[in-house]
Structure 1
Amino acid sequence: MVVATDAAGSPALVVDVGRRMPGRGAWLHPDPGCLDTAERRRALGRALRNAGLLDVSVVRRHVEQQGMKGAGQIPGS
């Protein structure tokens, strides 16, 4: 699940693994293709009711790490 936060005065997305953060959340498959599609369609902004551009860098990093773990390629090993 991803949640919109106000990091340093600009809206950003964070991954809420524990699904406990306050605010509106949106589900996203841990797949880079799904993130690309959601970003291209601006679906996350609509789902989170945020009209501004959202920084997805944290979510992208998380999705890429999940992909590496699933493929047996753990970073740093």
Structure 2
Amino acid sequence: MSGRTHARVCPERTCVGCRERAAKSELLRIVVVEGECVPDPRGTLPGRGAYVHPAPACLALAVRRRAFPRAFRGRAPLDTTALSQFVEQATP
């Protein structure tokens, strides 16, 4: 043994709303399904994912900055109603 501690490294992602880095487990993964942003809390849906803090403030900031079309490399605006409903229900 070399004497080094073997701490597990936690993957980090960047929130598209506030642009802060956080642990992947603290963020909500979002994917696009038929032109609509859909929450993916288990992280199992196929396709490109974007991450946002599950807080209404970060979600509103991402929508205002038009971060979702940029993250998914699209040009058309995406529907975020299902996403906002999910975040509102998840927030205590």
Unaligned runs of 5+ in 2: 1-28
Instruction: Work out whether 1:2 is the aligned partner of 2:26.
Output: no
Equivalent of residue 36 in structure 2, options 4, 9, 12: 12
- TM-superposed deviation, 1:50: 1.7
TM-score by length of 1: 0.79
Q: Bigger radius of gyration, 1 or 2?
A: 2
Give a deviation string over 1:7-54, Cα, whole Å, max 9, x none.
xxxx10101111111110000101111011000000111111121110
Q: TM-score, normalised by structure 2?
A: 0.67
Verify: 1:21 aligned to 2:49, yes or no.
no
Q: CA RMSD in A?
A: 0.8
Higher relative contact order structure (alpha carbons within 8 Å, sequence separation ≥ 6): 1
Residue segments in structure 1 that go unaligned for 5+ positions in a row: 71-77
The structure where helix makes up a greater share of residues is 1
Match of 1:45 among 69, 82, 85: 69
Give the partner amino acid of 2:71: A
Percent identity over paired residues: 41
